[in-house]
Structures are given as C-alpha cells and as structure tokens.
Amino acid sequence: MEHIRLPKVDNVRLLDRVSPRKSRVGTLYLTATHTIFVENEAGVRNETWVLHSLVCSLEKQAATASGCSLLIHCKNFQVLNFVIPRERECHDVHLSLQRLSQPERPEELYCFSYKPNVDSEERRQEWDFLDLRADYRRMGLPNSLWKLSSVNQHYKVSDTYPADLFVPESATPPIIVGSSKFRSRGRFPTLSYYSKENHAAICRSSQPLSGFSARCLEDEQMLEAILRSNPRSDFMYVVDTRPKLNAIANRAAGKGYENEDNYSNIKFQFIGIENIHVMRNSQQKMMEVCELRSPSMSDFLEGLESSGWLKHIKAVLDAGIFIAKAVAEEGVSVLVHCSDGWDRTAQVCSVACVLLDPHYRTLRGLMILIEKDWISFGHKFSHRCNHLQGDPKEVSPVIDQFLECVWQLMEQFPCAFEFNARFLITIHSHIYSCQYGNFIGNNQRERIELGLREKTHSLWSYLWKNQADYINPLYRPDHSQTQGLLRPSTAPYCFKFWRALYNRFDRGMHPRQSVEDYLSAIREETQQLEEQLASHKQKIAQLEQEQEWSIPEKAVPFDKSPTGWTLCNDLANTPQDYTGGFFTSSPCQPKAPITLQTEESNKTSELNLSNGSDQESGIADVSCRSPLSEDSTRDPDSDEAAYSAS
Amino acid sequence: MEFSEHIKTANVEDVVLRQPLHPPGRGTLCITGHHLLFSDREEGSCRQVLLLLRNIDAIEKSVENLLTYSSLFSNAGLSQRLSGSSGTITIKCKDLRVFQLDIPGMEECLNIARSIETLSCLDIVSEMYPFFYRPSNASLRDQCGLSSPERHYSQMKELHDRWRLSTVNRDFSVCPSYPQAVIVPKSTDDDMLEKVAKFRQGGRFPVLCYYHKKNGMVIMRSSQPLMGANRKRCREDEQLLLAVIDGSDKGYIIDTRSSQQALQAQMTGGGFESKSCYSSWKRLQRQMERGKALQESLIKLVEACGDESNNMDRWLSKLENSKWLSHVQTALSTAGLVAECVERDGHSVLVHGSEGTDSTLLISTLAQLIMDPGCRTLEGFLTLLEREWIQAGHPFQKRCAHSAYSHARLQQESPVFLLLLDCVWQLWQQFPLALGFSETLLLRLSTEAYVSDYGTFLCNNQQERCALGVKENTHCLFQALLRPGERDCYSNPLYEHTELAIWPSVHPQSLHLWRGFFLRWTPQTHHLEEAQEEIRNMVIEWGKLALS
C-alpha cells in the first residue's frame, strides 16, 4: 500500500480507442492489486478493472487543456487511455502504477495475496489435480526401453530441469552426468514424448558445447542410447530449431551443434525459428498495427506482413510438423534443441505433441502438455513474461506463439479439439496475470523455493471446475478429424490473424453472434432432452407394467418449447440503446446464456483480470462516419468557383 | 445441330483426368455441344465428371513428355499406345477449378482443344444450354421467377398512400434496362417520368427500391443525371426527387464515385445533382471501384491464391496488392452509410454512380440486407437478388462473360456480383444466426452467375430476356433452389429471425478472405465443410428431440 500515492482521482475520462470523441467520465481508484475505473453515470455502474500485474507499459503524455493523458498497455493486449484533469494527479498515478506493476520481490506478486475461499486440503487437491507421472504412465512409461531417472533429484545435474526425468534404459548416471557437462546449463537429452505404437520418441536438450571441434564420449553414448531405445529404427533426427547462421555463431562461443561425423546414425537438420529478440520485436510491430486507430485494409495487411509475425508462427508449426511426421510416419526418434532448450525447443516439442496425440487436444491434455513441456522443463516464465522488474531483453512472447499455433490448428480442424479458443485466451491471460502460482518462477527448483504449492493456487483446477465455458461444442472423440496425427496445411493462406486475442478488447471488431455459444446451448439442451426422454420412457414402461394401462403417446408431458430458449430470445430482441452514436453494433446478443461478456463481468468469480463490464458492445465505426460529420466528403459544388474559373 | 461442325473428335478413350480433391482417373472423354463428359473406367469406380463447356474460362494445351504420362499408370495394355504421341490440356474453370486432361494422340488432343475453345465462347444466347436443359422434375409451365414488380407493389400496402406503380416502361422504350413496371412517387405522372428518363443516363430515372417500414424512409436508385458541361437542369427530375422527401427536411444522395470522377463525368455529358438545384439533398461521395479495375483485382487475388511458393510475406503482399478486401471494405461501409442515413438519421437516400447498374445495385442490396429482416431469409434473399439484380438490369451477360483465368482481352467483364456475394458472406461471418441461407448458397450462386443450366442469369436485362423468351423456354434457378430437397442444403440451420438491423464491422481485422470461394478446391476447405455438417447434424438432432 505504501506505493499508492493517490488512491482516488475524480473526473477522469476513459477514451474510446476507436472513436476518441466517445469517452466516459468517472472515478479512478488505485488499490493494492487493481486499477479500477468507475463510470459516473446515473443508473449504470460500469466498472473497468485492470490487474496491476497485467500492466505492460505506461505512457504519460504532455498535459493539454483537457488534462493529462495516461496510456496503459496491458499484457493481455488491453489498451486504456485515461485523461486525468490535473498533471500532478496524473504524475502520481503514473508513478504509483509504475511501481505497482513492477514488483521487485516475488512475495509482492498477486498470487501471494490472492485468497479465494479454499482450505489447505482443497489447495493440496488443486495442486495434485495434474500429475505428470500419470501422463508418462499414459504413454506407457516406464517400460523396458525408458526408465525414470533420479539423477536430477535436488537439481544437482541441471538446476533448470525437473527432478523427475525419463532417460533410455541403457543411459547410466555417468553417461548422463557426462553428457550434461557437454550441454548448455547441463540440460542433457531427455524424453519429452514417447509413442507407444512405434516406440519413436521426442527428446529435448540444450545445445552441445561443441565449439569448433570438441567432442564428448558420454554425449555421443547418450544419443546412441536414445537411438537404441527405438529398436525398429536405425537412425534418429537431431533437429536444431535455430537458423543455421545463429548456430554457427554459437560455435565461436564454445557452443554450437552436433557434428554428424561424431555421432553415429544421426541426421542433422536446421529448422530456422528466430530467437526471442526477433519474436519480441515482431509482436510489438504487430500490436502497433492492431492499435492503429482506423487503418485501411492496405495499412493493416502491409503492417501485418512487415511485422513478420505470421511467418514466425508458420516456422514454429512447420517445425512441429516435421517432428510429428518423423515420429508418426517414419517411426524415427528425434532430439530437439535450440540454444538453452527452453524456448524454441518447448514450442516445437509441444506443437509436435498436439499434432501427434489426440489426448493433448483435450482440455486436460493441453493443461498437462503445458505443465510438462513448459513449466516442468523450465521455460523461464518469470523472465519471459516480465513478472518481476527485470531485464526487458529477456521478455519474449514464446508461449503466445505456442498458444497461437494451437489456435491456428483449431481453425483448420474445427472438430478436433475438445476446448475452444476462450480456453487458450484464458490461459494466456493467467500466464501473465500472476493470479495463480503455476507460471511463477523460471523452473521447478525456484517454484519449490518460493513455496508456491503451499502459498498460492493452481489455475488448472480453476479451469477444470469451469470447463463448461471452455468446451468446443463441435468436438466429438469419434470424429474422423479427431483421430491420430493431424496433417495441417502450412500454405501461407491457412494462417490467420488472431483477432480474438490481439484485438480482444475491441468488441466492435468481433462477430456479433456466436455460433459456438448457440451450439453449446443446443448441446446442453439435447442432453437434457435425451435424459428426460429416457426417464419418461422408463416411467411409461413402469406404469404400463404396474397398471397394465397404456398411455397414449400424446399424453407424455413434454415441454415442447425448449426451456431457457424462449427466455433468451426475449433477451436477444431487447432493443438496444443506439444513442451512443452512429453505427453502433448490432443488437444481436448470442442467444446462448454463456457469453464471454458474462464470464468477464462476473466479478464474484475470481476472474478479476480486467473487468469487461463495459456493456455497450458497439463502437462507432470510423469508416462509416455519420453522414453529418464534417469529414464525410466534400461536395464538388463547393469547388464550383475553381471549376468554372478553369 | 450446328454444334457438330465444331466437333472433330467427339470421343477419346484412355484419357487421364486430374482434378482437385480427387485422385487421377482414367477413362473416356466425350465432347458434346454443351458439355465435356468424362467417365472413369477404373475398376470399382464409375465416377463421372460433367462440365458445361461454358464453365471453361481458359484452356492451355501442351504436348507432354511421354515418360510422365506412362509413369503414372504402369498397368499393362498401355505399352502399345505409347507409340503414339500425346498431349495435355489444362482447363481452368469460371468456378476456379482447374482440370488437367492427358489425351493420347496428338491430333485428338488438338481437336478436343479446338472444340473446347470454340464452344466455350459461343455467345449466341438462344443456343446456350439453359434453352436445352429439361430436368424431369420441373415443367416449363411452372411460374417463372419468385416475384414481379407488380406483386412487390401490391404486397407493400403501406406504400400505396404516396407511391404508385408506373408502367411507363411497359415496352422498354423509356428505359431499356428497367423492368416493365417500377415504383415512383404518386405525384409524378408518366409524362414527367419520360422527361426525367431523358435526363438520366440510359433512361434510368430514380425509382424506389426499398421502403423502410419503421419510419417510412426509402432508398431510391438511378443513374447519373446528364447535366453535362453546361450544367443542364431538368425541372421534372428535381420535382421527382422533391416528391421523394415530401414532408421531410432533407435526403441524402450517395454517389459511388469520387468528386474527381463526378467532375470528369460532367465533362463528358454526365454529372451530379448540384446543390443549387437540389437544395434539400445532401450529396455524399464514396468512391467504389468498378469495371476493369475490379476484374483485375479478382484476377490478382486468384493468382495469389494459386501461388505455391509457400512464402508468407509474398502471400500477404499479394493479398494486399490485389485490393479485393479493400473493395469489400468499401462496399460494406458504403452500404452501412446508406443504412445509417435511413435507419438512424431517418432520411431517404438516393444511390447512384454513373450507369446505375453495378455499384449502385451492390450498395442498395447490401443496405437492404442490413436493415430489412425480410431480405435475410432464403426466399427473401433470392427475391432481393431477383429484384435488385435480374429485374433492375445488372448486365450479367457482359459482366460475367469471363472470370479470373481468361486470357481474352477484357471488355465489359466485372465481378460486381461476386463482390456482392463476398460482402454477404462477410455479413454471414459476423452474424452467423441472422441470415437464413448458407454459405453453400452463396457458392452456388457464384457459379450460376457465370455458367448455369438455368435461364435466370442469362442476358443483360428484362428486355433482352423478353425478346428471347427466356421466361418461356428456360427453367428458373431461384425456384429450383427452393424445392424441398435443395432447400435444406441452402438454408442456415442456425437461422433465427431478428427484427434488428445487422450493422457490419468494417475494420480490417473483421474482414476475411472468403476461403470457401477462393480456396474452394483446396483440401483444407474439406475440414471446414465437415464442421458445417456437424453443426447441421447437431441442430437436426436437437430439433428432433425438442419436437418429440
């Protein structure tokens, strides 16, 4: 609380991003965890909540007659533009927020102060909800080829790896330790995914410290052991996900890549995914395009192209496809690494898993995949997401790219995923929100030291409890799209811009009706009806038996108008307020009861990320200006003089 | 039949057909006066491909290397044929499909190619296939079309106070591209209309196309006034427009040209409504791309979609460079503007560009879809198309003579109708529950407008259709689409009536490439079709239970 210089400012204006002439006046409150803007309009209580940990950058602009403007960019891509009447106040708010949004010590993170009403037993269950060992068991491990190694207990071999690791049966501790000394940060080759069907495996590591000529017998033995754990195959792929040039540059620093001559039976392959710095800049450029006030189609497409973002997404997906095909179609094991083996390697291994295994396309499966390839293998969430005040050069949207790859796949295979895009977006928000302990710290060792299991809550069980919101109604476990390996196309035209994430808060851009919500409602109702039908049939049978009296079919007391349905219809047809300006959104509310909006405005639930109580879903459309506005177009009559003079 | 003189080789055996989404097949190729027929002779399958020759937009022939031909099918019985030469014909269709035919025998190949070249371009309307198409389940005595101006007028009782149906054009002498009956203000008599027609290009005087029941405002459309360089006036024209806004303080004229273009038009005899003569009308300009530029935009986009370089930057820059999505954006935002004027601002609107047969119709149609729930059902939409495109005289024959692949020199081709369908698809994306028809309908129409078994899209206007007896001698597409069997696949299972206007978002982020059309023949579309089928099944299952 000591960081709040000014807890309340009156007469603050919140500008509409798309049409700045439309703004809302209200009071701005700073709390220990949130910035809250409450609109002062009689009758409505419109609130906008922004979590401090989601604030990405703050920009105070020069004071003008109308006040001093404070621009807040959030990590969930929300942009808020406040105009604060007095410069002094703006200055105070700015300084307070700057401090509040950049905690210096882990204990200041929101997850340590977030206290839902849960006792310690429930909290333990929350954290036990996902069990990585169970996932390995599902893969059929341990077995005669792969064993659970205790070599990294107490994180002695690699402090960024988890304690439990699977290694080839023939890999002895000396081999592992030897190999780890030859790999950056001790991240020796270890198992990420194993295919029961054909014994092919995906392994991951960091780059070898090969320099120009160094060799390591144990490392060579380690790869040999991996190869031998796949009895049907006589070679394996080693995939370096970096561009070749970057890998070569690393050799000068005593690092580098495997020399095919030193390792028996490996096929070495560069894939060419750019590094975290390129990705950070790319996303920044794309967000600049997304935030343009009224871009033309050309501005938008040119900006999207020059950001390079979709090109990078394609590169990650291409790499995932290469690995998935090697495993599923060729039955060949793959070792994947980049430099440290916690960014690109995590992306590529997890994308390959999604392609390979239908389980990872379910709700629980995606959670466990993130837990496995990202959290346990030490993706540096604290650094990459900038949870604490730190080096801005360490920040990079690596996990965003993974989530986007999954989304791109969902767009190509609408029936293959059990979850919907809302699930991905919610995960994205909470990766950055610091509300749950899952994504705090850079590796397992740090998380244990912070005592996260004892002091914070787990996102996964929250998501599981609310799974109804995240189910894709088109998913059917027995659908042909659901089965086996996904074979997506990576033709450039298959990649779309992910509006629902990057322009998430620009409601006016989104479809005004949701097929998904409609179908979810239908699905739920179909289930209810089926149950009713079954129970009625049972009753009839019972009655017939008991009384030997047959009920005419018509008499079945069945509600023909689906309940809740008609109710929602009324709601959908409520005329909306159009006075907000020309060209506000359509009135059509999705008729299904669950909408993103209700989810967000449901403040009693713990989703306090950024409250979307902004009920006015419409936005003034710039390109369709009011016919009365001065800038419509000039009448050539006004040029009359000039014309007759010529 | 005189077609036979264009057919030297009617049948070829052992032809290999390669087409999108299917494995190659071997079989017999037949050419008839209107069709290309391929029947598969592979064991266990009897696939047939029947293609209207008119669907063929471009054809390329080349003498292929024999090795590639023989390596594909190494079955026995082939070796003896290898002694001859062979050729390959690539057929690019107006529905964007690309076929490849490997034809044994150089001469056969050239003959077939020549027949296709000639027969696909015959432009004598009365010899086109719709005049020969006789489906067993329909009779020519069935009523043609869904509605007529007379019926439209008589159904709109609320119009009758201030508007009348004029038959001044009963013999098409006042305006050759208008239907025989049009709706005009009651206070304007036919003599006046004749004078107004002389002041408007092509005789297209302002007529009513939409009446907004909520506030009694209307959308009118016309062609440009022929004021010319010496600023001619026409009192009757001014009076007619004054009668339109009778009782209201003003109206809006949406000119689909830029100020520059309007001024240029004035130099060449056309022009615009000047402020001084039409003081109660406020003119707004929205430049819409038209004619050749639009056709070129389509060609570029189709070319970009066929680019196999697998390079993201190149794709995005080609997509941008085609400008197609910009045209979609402009069309939707202009239509939004018209709807805004009528629904929000409560004023009547006159829409025109120069000829009033292209972008004018595009805008008036989209504006009606936005505002009028009646247009959003399957019947309503087809009736709207019939009224605003067929009867209102969009020159389909000229505009849809060729599509994106043609090498022919562009004349009057322009994919305005395709742009309309794309815009409607964008609406459907944004309001998936508000439109009563499916994407399948839009795709079907996108093909039918270019090539059809039906007479609906033949000719350029009603006058030409009357002269050729299109009504009496061909079948009506719209009626066919509404038959019980067909209807199911063209209706939207999620449709739910809403009285409210559907305001589209025109942000670049909200507009998408119409994959269903432009990438229709790629395998990726298949998964999306499966999803649509899944949706249909879910709704059907739910419907069954709810009714049981």
Contact: B503, A529; criterion CB under 8 Å:
no
Contact A113, A33 (CB under 8 A): yes
Q: Which of B255, B349, B507 to mutate to test the interface with A (most CBs of A within 10 A)?
A: B507
pLDDT range class, residue A572, cuts 50, 70, 90: very low
pLDDT range class, residue B75, cuts 50, 70, 90: low
Lookup: tokens for B76: 């026995």
- What are the tens digits of pLDDT across the range B534-543? 999 999 888 8
Q: Is A36 annotated as a binding residue?
A: no
Lookup: tokens for A481: 């799209």
- Whether residue B114 is predicted with pLDDT greater than 60 in this model: the reply is yes
CA distance B108 to chain A (A): 37
Contact: A492, B329; criterion CB under 8 Å:
no
This prediction has a pTM of 0.89
pLDDT for residue A379: 97
User: Which residue from A minimizes the CA distance to B498?
Assistant: A573
Q: What is the rounded distance in angstroms from the CA atom of residue A293 to the CA atom of residue A295?
A: 6
- Whether residue A88 is predicted with pLDDT greater than 80 in this model: the reply is yes
Report the percent of chain B where pLDDT is more than 90.
71
CA distance A24 to chain B (A): 22
CATH of B3-122, picked from 1.10.10.10, 1.10.132.50, 2.30.29.30, 3.30.70.20, is 2.30.29.30
Q: Average pLDDT, stretch A238-249? A: 95
pLDDT for residue A574: 26
Q: Which of B224, B256, B305, B316 to mutate to test the interface with A (most CBs of A within 10 A)?
A: B316
pLDDT for residue B22: 86
3-state helix, strand, coil in chain A (%, to 5): 45, 15, 40
Residues of A forming the active site = 338
pLDDT for residue B290: 86
Which residues of chain A does B257 touch, with a Cβ-Cβ cutoff of 8 Å? none
**CB of B21 within 8 Å of any CB in chain A?**
no
CA distance B94 to chain A (A): 21
pLDDT for residue A504: 92
- Whether residue A154 is predicted with pLDDT greater than 90 in this model: the reply is yes
**CB of B503 within 8 Å of any CB in chain A?**
yes
Residue of A522, A576, A627 with shortest CB distance to B337: A627
**In 10 A of CB B61, how many CB atoms?**
19
Residue of B505, B515, B546 with shortest CB distance to A621: B505
**CB of B521 within 8 Å of any CB in chain A?**
no
Contact A255, A208 (CB under 8 A): yes
Ordered alpha helix ranges (H), B372-490: 378-385, 396-399, 416-430, 439-448, 462-468, 470-473, 477-481, 484-490
- Whether residue A476 is predicted with pLDDT greater than 70 in this model: the reply is yes
> Hey, is B90 helix, strand or coil?
strand
Q: What is the rounded distance in angstroms from the CA atom of residue A205 to the CA atom of residue A167?
A: 12
Residue of B276, B434, B546 with shortest CB distance to A513: B434
Q: What is the rounded distance in angstroms from the CA atom of residue A222 to the CA atom of residue B262?
A: 77
Lowest average pLDDT, out of A250-264, A603-617, B189-203, B498-512, goes to A603-617
Lowest average pLDDT, out of A6-15, A574-583, B66-75, goes to A574-583
Q: Is A180 annotated as a binding residue?
A: no
Residue of A575, A586, A626 with shortest CB distance to B503: A586
Q: What is the rounded distance in angstroms from the CA atom of residue A600 to the CA atom of residue A426?
A: 10
User: Which residue from B minimizes the CA distance to A487?
Assistant: B524
| Higher pLDDT among residues A580 and A266, named by residue | A266
Residue of A495, A513, A572 with shortest CB distance to B312: A495
pLDDT for residue B135: 87
Q: Give A251: exposed, middle or buried? Use CB within 10 Å, 0-12, 13-18, 19+.
A: middle
| Higher pLDDT among residues A325 and B45, named by residue | A325
- What are the tens digits of pLDDT across the range A514-570? 899 999 988 888 888 888 888 888 888 888 887 765 444 443 333 333 333 333 333
CA distance B104 to chain A (A): 34
| Higher pLDDT among residues A1 and A593, named by residue | A1
Q: Is A361 annotated as a binding residue?
A: no
Q: What is the full DSSP assignment across B172-211? A: SSS-TTS-S-EEEETT--HHHHHHHHHTBGGG---EEEEE
- What are the tens digits of pLDDT across the range B431-440? 999 999 999 9
- 288-327 in chain B: CB under 8 A from chain A: 305, 308, 310-317, 319-320, 323, 325-326
CA distance B528 to chain A (A): 7
Q: Is A340 annotated as a binding residue?
A: yes
Residue of B274, B317, B337 with shortest CB distance to A624: B337
pLDDT for residue B85: 75
- What are the tens digits of pLDDT across the range B462-477? 999 999 999 999 999 9
Contact: A508, B507; criterion CB under 8 Å:
yes
Where in chain B are all domains bearing CATH 2.30.29.30? 3-122
Contact: B531, A290; criterion CB under 8 Å:
no
Which residues of chain A does B252 touch, with a Cβ-Cβ cutoff of 8 Å? 627
Contact: B531, A474; criterion CB under 8 Å:
yes
CA angle B428, B434, B435 (to 5 degrees): 60
Residue of B308, B345, B431 with shortest CB distance to A627: B345
Q: Is A427 annotated as a binding residue?
A: no
Contact: B538, A473; criterion CB under 8 Å:
yes
Residue in the structure block whose two tokens are 């083996």: A341
Contacts of residue B66, defined as CB under 8 A and 6 or more positions apart, other chains included, come to B82, B85, B86
**CB of B370 within 8 Å of any CB in chain A?**
no
Is omega for the bond preceding A142 within 30 degrees of 0, making it cis?
yes
Cβ–Cβ pairs < 8 A, chains A and B: 233
Q: Average pLDDT, stretch A51-71? A: 92
Structure ipTM over 0.90, yes or no: yes
pLDDT for residue A123: 92
What's the whole-number average pLDDT of chain A? 84
**CB of B257 within 8 Å of any CB in chain A?**
no
What's the whole-number average pLDDT of chain B? 90
Which residues of chain B does A640 touch, with a Cβ-Cβ cutoff of 8 Å? 274
Task: Name residue B280's amino acid.
Answer: S
CA distance A191 to chain B (A): 32
Helices (H) and strands (E) in chain A, counts: 23, 14
- Whether residue A20 is predicted with pLDDT greater than 60 in this model: the reply is yes
pLDDT for residue B498: 92
Question: To which H or E segment does residue A30 belong?
Answer: strand A23-30
| Higher pLDDT among residues A278 and B33, named by residue | A278
pLDDT for residue B72: 52
- What are the tens digits of pLDDT across the range B386-402? 999 999 999 999 999 99
pLDDT for residue A317: 97
- What are the tens digits of pLDDT across the range B205-229? 999 999 999 999 999 999 999 999 9
pLDDT for residue A506: 87
Lowest average pLDDT, out of A39-48, A133-142, A433-442, B526-535, goes to A39-48
Which residues of chain A does B326 touch, with a Cβ-Cβ cutoff of 8 Å? 296-298
**Residue A188, CA distances (Å) to A1, A269, B72 in order:** 45, 19, 48
Q: Average pLDDT, stretch A296-318? A: 96
Q: What is the rounded distance in angstroms from the CA atom of residue A364 to the CA atom of residue A471?
A: 11
User: Which residue from B minimizes the CA distance to A494?
Assistant: B524
Contact: A515, B500; criterion CB under 8 Å:
no
